[in-house]
Amino acid sequence: MQQDRPLGIGLVGAGFIAATRARCYRALGGRAALRAVATRNPARASDFAQAHGVAGAAESFDALLARDDIDLVDLCVPNDLHRPMTEAAARAGKHVVCTKPLTAYVGQDLGDDPEAEVAATPRRRMLELAVADAEAMVAACDAAGVQLMYGENWVYAPGVVRAAGLLGQADGTILDMRGGESHKGSHSPYSKLWRHTGGGALLRLGAHPIGAMLWLKREEARRRGAAPIVATAVTADVADLSRIAALDAETAAYVTRGWVDVENWGFVSIAFSDGSRGLAWGADTTLGGMESRLDIQASNARYRCNLSPNDLLQAYAPDASVFGDAYIMEKVDSGAGWTTPIPDEDWTSGHLAMCADFVDAVRSGRPARSDGRLGADVVRVVYAAYVAAAEGRRVALDA
């Protein structure tokens, strides 16, 4: 049922992705109202609220859930909190947006021992637990009658959406997809430790192209009224390229180093139930700014989707001082030479359209495009890929 009043939003977390979400919900005008933000630290929440146009700070996550004027909570918190916070929010009758990855293996079976070697856990055990967490989140929201929406911006990126529209118009069959996200290394020291992130580049970055591929094949089947097309098997490899010995002798290597127990390079080849294939990768070893691309080879057309960089604007400056401290694009820290200053990253990345879909879905009582099922399927593919890489063989996915 269509609501007349704005949808009340509660943000949880006040870091990098929370700032993106705050900008995007704010841009929706009267459709959404950013009512409160909660972190572990009320003072930090207050600072964030002031800086990002949120009405106020909640004392705690529980206090945020207790408010009647909040309809939807957006969880912008570390991966180990995704399941418990989703379950608590569902119990409180709130719709949930959960950022990627939906779940991760961060040693949830090892207790609180800070010395536990999380990355040493067999990959099959990781697969089992990460998937169980994801399925529990989907079930908790289903049981509570609230929506679980998965924060996969790629399925809302203008290039991917237009390609999906043309695929429908041309009624093409996707034969093969190749896509990846890569840059010079995460800003966060937590990204270097399995116990915090639950994996490396394949999970943090590869989750995006994997999500887009699973969604595109899901759409192809839906359009034709056919049985769902799902991932059935994977092969994969992962590596820490910063450990290549020759780098020790270099004085000017720009690649981020210091990865403790996670990969900074990884790919997965996905076999789909209709025989088509997807090749997805993530890397923290790529210079030149954030690179997010998807190439789709269909039976009657080809598509190249550029999320970042793109050439909406190309600029040249002979020296970095010309543009001063102006923001160019994600993971580019110099405006010298030819650059691609992206006019609106929230739009090109799909974040803006994603937040609009989540809000409109709840307001009108229809499902969102990116849902918890998609998030759970991505988790299954990523952790099956870790099994395949560790065991050096093709791994079948359970239905």
Ligand X SMILES: NC(=O)c1ccc[n+]([C@@H]2O[C@H](COP(=O)([O-])OP(=O)(O)OC[C@H]3O[C@@H](n4cnc5c(N)ncnc54)[C@H](OP(=O)(O)O)[C@@H]3O)[C@@H](O)[C@H]2O)c1
Closest approach of Cβ 373 to ligand X, in Å?
17
Closest approach of Cβ 138 to ligand X, in Å?
17
Q: Where along the sequence are the contacts to ligand X (CB under 6 A)?
A: 12-18, 38-41, 44, 61, 76-79, 81, 99-100, 151, 153, 188
Nearer to ligand X, 92 or 336 (CB): 92
Nearer to ligand X, 84 or 168 (CB): 84
Closest approach of Cβ 181 to ligand X, in Å?
9
Closest approach of Cβ 53 to ligand X, in Å?
17
Query: What are the two backbone dihedrals, phi and then psi, of residue 128, each rounded to the nearest 5 degrees?
Result: -60, -45
Spatial distance between the Cα atoms of 342 and 307, rounded to a whole number of angstroms = 10
Closest approach of Cβ 252 to ligand X, in Å?
28
Cβ proximity of 320 and 336 under 8 Å: yes
Nearer to ligand X, 78 or 168 (CB): 78
Closest approach of Cβ 125 to ligand X, in Å?
21
Cβ proximity of 149 and 369 under 8 Å: no
Query: What are the two backbone dihedrals, phi and then psi, of residue 307, each rounded to the nearest 5 degrees?
Result: -85, -40
Spatial distance between the Cα atoms of 10 and 61, rounded to a whole number of angstroms = 9
Closest approach of Cβ 345 to ligand X, in Å?
11
CA distances from 229 to 206, 254, 274 (A): 20, 41, 6
CA distances from 186 to 40, 77, 132, 331, 339 (A): 23, 16, 27, 9, 20
Closest approach of Cβ 319 to ligand X, in Å?
31
Nearer to ligand X, 70 or 77 (CB): 77
> Which residue minimizes CB distance to ligand X?
15
